[in-house]
Structure 1
Amino acid sequence: MASGVLKRLIPALALSAAALTVQAGESITLASTTSTENSGLFGYILPIFEKASGIQVNVVALGTGQALDVGKRGDADALLVHDRAKEESFVAEGYGAYRKDVMYNDFVIVGPAADPAGVAGAKTADEAFAKIADSGSTFASRADRSGTHAAELRFWKAVGKDPEGKPWYKASGSGMGATLNMAAGVGAYTLSDRGSWANFKNRQDLKILFQGDPQLYNPYGVILINPAKHPHVKKAAAERFIDWITSDAGHQAIADFKLNGEQLFFPLKAK
């Protein structure tokens, strides 16, 4: 009898010890996008995860390209970014152990209310970008290798435009908040993720002029940095975060995050 009790107690004690280790201050570094930070999403969901797990998540908010560079150097344990093609290449090249879908939102084209390029009358996002280029209207680009910048470049390419060096094309080289500030200051168009726009206060004369095209779909993925390449990666703790953010509980937290009653991110079934 005593032996049976001990057999049941030992695993329970081991779990309790593991829980205490986590509560003692385990942390991971998550390199992510400025959109998840600027929107306020992390400020809402991470305390929920930290309370449930005892694991602190330290976010390094960068453009997706820079976040991937951080991952390649092994300076993060996990990534949460939004450039699907680059994410898949990152894993294929061995820098990431695997990638999972997390959520999506969409991009919007914002610009001055007067809309000199006639963007509001466009039928597609491609047409909206063509109108901006053809009219020579000022456009503020993040120009920072972020997921948003990559999406913008795809639109220019799709309509056969090369804005680099044009007097109407202004590069901020900064995150979404700074680029929106630039656009507001000079009356420019820009491409923004909806979450950052919803949380942006200095709108001045800017407004959403085009939205809703399926081309503006913006998915996010989470990646575990490959511990085979970087043995110091906190695999167990990072995987606990990945498991949570792709679980029903994580999805509920993402769906519950709203600004002025508007849901900004929508969970995706992990695959």
Structure 2
Amino acid sequence: MKWNRILTYSLIALLLFMMTACSNGTDDTAKKEEQTDAVVEEVTDLILATTTSTQDSGLLDVLIPMFEEDSNTNVKTIAVGTGQALEMGTKGEADVLLVHAPASELELVESGDATNRQRVMYNDFILIGPASDPSAVKGMEVQEAFQKLFDDGAVFISRGDDSGTHKKELDVWKSLEITPGENAGYTETGQGMGNTLQVAAEKQGYVITDRATYLAQKENLDLEILVEGDEDLLNIYHVMQVNPDKHDKVNSDGAKAFVEFMISDDTQTMIEKFGQEEYGESLFFPYTE
């Protein structure tokens, strides 16, 4: 009887041990699954250096959330002039660039600081000014209009920030062999497109701008489009990765994913539709081919 009791207790103890072991095994498996899920759901950061026009127009407010949701990525957008954005690329201070100064962009690619450069979209630059148009430049070709503004000593507001828009403006002055600062009415803001438009409105001056930012802020400006449609005023945007072979701290996977996102069919459709409902026309046009 004594031995039967000992055997019974032993079997109970063994059964309890096995149950505990199974329970621990289940708990360990659950913990491993939770850890795996945590790894899968980990959010990575991506630094996007871009021009202020993509920010001021509101386009990034539509596109960035789409990319973040699809890629589980947190995008840190730094909107500056294109010159500053490209400089961030040369220093490895950004992962991906969205800019609009083709000649300067190519220099970055040739130096090996950027790679996977892809054309994304375009719109155009326009010359705007007060409705009274004191220099009577409306309808002129852009070079003719710039010459007239300089000759008249007209109030001209420049971004003066080495942005893509500023580079385009300087190209026009250079083609005319004019030093714009010799005009007493010429003022550089050193600021982004949105703020520069506000200064132009306050001073009732002329200013060159991208069409998207103008349309997005038109209601707050007492300025009209005076010169448009010249081939020289085409405004092309490219996206490119900062080269991970030269800058090893960049998020190359995230940058590559962002480039692919920007040139995807779905994103291109969103770009084309952006602004149509609110402004009656597209602010940007797809341009991947």
Same fold (TM over 0.5): yes
Q: Does the C-alpha gap of structure 1 residues 129 and 105 become closer, same or farther in structure 2, counting only changes over 3 Å?
A: same
Is the 8 Å Cα contact of residues 65 and 147 (structure 1) preserved in structure 2? yes
CA separation in 2, counterparts of 1:201 and 1:56? 31
Deviation at 1:160, TM superposition (A): 2.3
Deviation at 1:204, TM superposition (A): 4.2
Aligned-partner residue type, residue 48 of structure 1: M
Aligned-partner residue type, residue 237 of structure 1: G
Is the 8 Å Cα contact of residues 197 and 221 (structure 2) preserved in structure 1? no
Q: Does the C-alpha gap of structure 1 residues 244 and 85 become closer, same or farther in structure 2, counting only changes over 3 Å?
A: same
Aligned-partner residue type, residue 248 of structure 2: P
1:59-138 aligned within 5 A: 59-122=77-140, 124-138=141-155
Moved over 6 A (4+): 17-20
159, 165, 179: which is aligned to 2:196?
179
Secondary structure in 2 matching 1:120: coil
CA separation in 1, counterparts of 2:159 and 2:108? 22
CA separation in 2, counterparts of 1:116 and 1:241? 45
Cα deviations by residue, 1:24-82 (Å, 9 ceiling, x for unpaired): 21120000000000000000111122222222221100000010111111110010000
Deviation at 1:143, TM superposition (A): 0.4
Ranges in structure 1 where 5+ consecutive residues have no aligned partner:
1-16
Is the 8 Å Cα contact of residues 194 and 213 (structure 2) preserved in structure 1? yes
CA separation in 2, counterparts of 1:260 and 1:19? 44
Q: Does the C-alpha gap of structure 1 residues 166 and 21 become closer, same or farther in structure 2, counting only changes over 3 Å?
A: farther
CA separation in 2, counterparts of 1:104 and 1:201? 19
Aligned to 2:179: 162
* Identical-pair percentage: 42
CA separation in 2, counterparts of 1:118 and 1:160? 22
CA separation in 1, counterparts of 2:115 and 2:37? 25
69, 72, 95: which is aligned to 1:51?
69
Secondary structure in 1 matching 2:78: strand
Is the 8 Å Cα contact of residues 150 and 183 (structure 2) preserved in structure 1? no
Matched, 1:30 2:30: no
Aligned-partner residue type, residue 69 of structure 1: E
Aligned-partner residue type, residue 182 of structure 1: V
Secondary structure in 1 matching 2:98: strand
Q: Does the C-alpha gap of structure 1 residues 22 and 92 become closer, same or farther in structure 2, counting only changes over 3 Å?
A: farther
> Between Structure 1 and Structure 2, which shows a larger proportion of helix residues?
2
Aligned to 1:224: 241
CA separation in 2, counterparts of 1:191 and 1:155? 11
CA separation in 2, counterparts of 1:269 and 1:139? 34
Q: Does the C-alpha gap of structure 1 residues 19 and 193 become closer, same or farther in structure 2, counting only changes over 3 Å?
A: farther
Aligned-partner residue type, residue 264 of structure 1: L
1:228-239 aligned within 5 A: 228-239=245-256
Aligned-partner residue type, residue 72 of structure 1: T
Is the 8 Å Cα contact of residues 184 and 202 (structure 1) preserved in structure 2? no
Aligned-partner residue type, residue 82 of structure 1: H
Deviation at 1:108, TM superposition (A): 0.9
CA separation in 1, counterparts of 2:153 and 2:204? 13
Q: Does the C-alpha gap of structure 1 residues 269 and 159 become closer, same or farther in structure 2, counting only changes over 3 Å?
A: same
CA separation in 2, counterparts of 1:30 and 1:97? 15
Aligned-partner residue type, residue 177 of structure 1: G
254, 262, 267: which is aligned to 2:281?
262
Q: Does the C-alpha gap of structure 1 residues 165 and 243 become closer, same or farther in structure 2, counting only changes over 3 Å?
A: same
Number of residues of Structure 1 aligned to a counterpart in Structure 2 = 253
Ranges in structure 2 where 5+ consecutive residues have no aligned partner:
1-34
Aligned-partner residue type, residue 170 of structure 2: L
The 10-residue stretch of structure 1 (32-41 or 162-171) with the greater mean CA deviation from structure 2? 162-171
Is the 8 Å Cα contact of residues 125 and 208 (structure 2) preserved in structure 1? yes
Q: Does the C-alpha gap of structure 1 residues 60 and 22 become closer, same or farther in structure 2, counting only changes over 3 Å?
A: farther
Q: CA RMSD in A?
A: 1.8
Deviation at 1:166, TM superposition (A): 2.5
Deviation at 1:130, TM superposition (A): 1.2
Deviation at 1:152, TM superposition (A): 0.2
